[in-house]
Structure formats: structure tokens, C-alpha cells
Chains A and B, each alone.
Chain A
Amino acid sequence: MMTNVISIRVNKRLEELIKNLAVETQLDQSDALREVMNNGIVFIAIKGYAEGKYSVEKAAAMAGMPLSEFMDLTTSLGIRSKIDLDDVLAGSDNLKSQVGK
């Protein structure tokens, strides 16, 4: 896989955290940092979705995952949709009005 170089400056605390993670995960520091970046992006997407900031498809795209996989991931983490009973009941009325009995 083709890779690009991105240079970033980190403070002492972050450097220490990356070193600790590298030791803990038995990865070299570059791989540990890549792991942090990958998981960090997924975390930001999940958090935004859980707070109702992003739609589920937008959050999945941000995480770089197919929607179905992202839905499986959020539910496996115990995150429920922010949809309320009121929302579903209003939708139920819409459905009834069009489909009827």
C-alpha cells in the first residue's frame, strides 16, 4: 500500500502516551500512532453519531466503514439510536394514513 508522510509536533504528554501505548501493544511507535489515528477517527464518528450530530451514514463515511458494519459496531458498543418514541409514533401515523388497514 502506498503511504504518505505527515509530520506533526506533539507535546511531552502525548509523546509519553504514545510511548506507553507502543509498549503496551508491543508495536513500534509509528504503528502505535497509526492505530491511535485510525481508532481516533472512528471514535469521533461514533461520538458525533451518538450525540445526534451526524446521520448514521455520514458517521459511517467519516469512519471509513460500510454503513452495515458501522451499525453493527455501534450496537455492539451498546449505543442506541437517539430516535424517540414520539418520532416512531408520528411515523406510524404516516404509515397508517397511507397503507391503512
Chain B
Amino acid sequence: MVTVVCEASIIILISKLDMLDTFIDVFGIITIPEAVRIEVVDKGKSTKKMDALLVEKRISDGKITVKKINDSTEKIKLQNDFNLHDGEAESIILYNEINANLLGTDDYRTIKTCRVQKVRYFSTPAFVYQSVISGHITKEIALLKLDKLSKIGWYKDEILEHFKKLIQNS
């Protein structure tokens, strides 16, 4: 089984795409650090965000596991060196502590940090594409998800167009 740690931005974006269950289907169990739970669930619920309720339910169903990190000194170092916040720094530390296979993120600085630290990261457009390759969703659904991602406006158009072409040609 593939062990996947996720930070908050990808959990939120995947939830907004209504793909959280596909995410869980593809990877089995998703692991998040405590700081990500606080950010997505506790803070999200304070503004009545649907993604917060969705993630809270998946945690209570045991589909998303929450773990605490051991090395808080490294957390402060990562935050200072790379201008990250609690959830992003804890995700990278947890990835290392549990020897995870992958780290999911849709944050620019976290991606740059992953590249420096040689952390195997991935982000939402790649996940949508991989879901087609692995047969979890159809090409048509994947293209609809990329359209929705385009409407959300997180990613540059050139990225989404590239992945649309990959999906169409797959």
C-alpha cells in the first residue's frame, strides 16, 4: 500500500472538486498531521466551509488518519528556512517520520521545499490524470474535473490545458 501524507491546500482543493472519495480509493488511507486537521476542520468549520465537514466525516470514518509529529525543532527550522506555516511544515516532517511514499500539496512554497528536500510530492492536476490511468475515473469525468479546477482558478491555464491533452490522448 502507498503511504500518502497530505497538507491542507490539496485536501481543500480535492474536496472542492468532489474528489475526496476518489482520492481515498486511489491511495487507501490518507495521513495528515494534527496541524492540517486544525487548519482544514477546526478553522474551516468556523466559517461553515463544506470541505471542513467533508474532511471531518472522513476522519471519523477512519479514511483519513491524523498523526502528531515528534520533531518540533525541525518544524521551526522548516518554517524559518522556507517561510512555511504549521500544516505545511508538519506534513513534510510527518512524511519523513513515517517513511511515506508521497506528499500531496498544491502550495508553491511547499513544492519548492519538497524539491530541495527531495520529498516525493504530487499535486491535484497530476492526481486527476493518474486517476484516469489507474481506471478510477473516466476520461470524461477527469476533463470535467479539470474544467471545475479551471473555474476555481487555482492553477494557470497552461497547466490545465497540458493535462487535458494528456487525458484526451491517454
Spell out A's residues near B (CB within 8 Å).
52-58, 60-61, 66-69, 71, 75-76, 78, 80-85, 87-92, 94-99, 101
Contacts and interface: CB of A to CB of B under 8 A. Distances in A.
A97 B121 CA distance: 11
B126 A88 contact: yes
Contacts of A99: 2, 26-27, 102, 130, 134
A91 B84 CA distance: 19
User: Chain B contact residues (Cβ within 8 angstroms of A): what range?
Assistant: 35 or more
Contact of A55 (B43, B107, B155, B159): B107
A94 B121 contact: yes
A83 B112 CA distance: 9
A55 to B, nearest CB: 4
B2 A55 contact: no
A81 B51 contact: no
Contacts of A56: 9, 107-109
Given A81-B154, A81-B156, A95-B130, A66 B9 contact: no
B9 A67 contact: yes
A91 B87 contact: no
Nearest to B166: A92
B50 to A, nearest CB: 9
Given A52-B109, A95-B127, A99-B130, A85 B120 contact: no
Interface string B94-131: 00000001100011111110010000111101110110
B149 to A, nearest CB: 11
Contacts of B111: 83, 87, 91
A86 to B, nearest CB: 10
A21 B47 CA distance: 29
Query: What 4 A-B pairs come out closest when comparing CB atoms?
Result: A92-B126, A75-B153, A66-B43, A57-B85
Contacts of A58: 79, 83-85, 88, 109
Contacts of B93: none
A75 B154 contact: yes
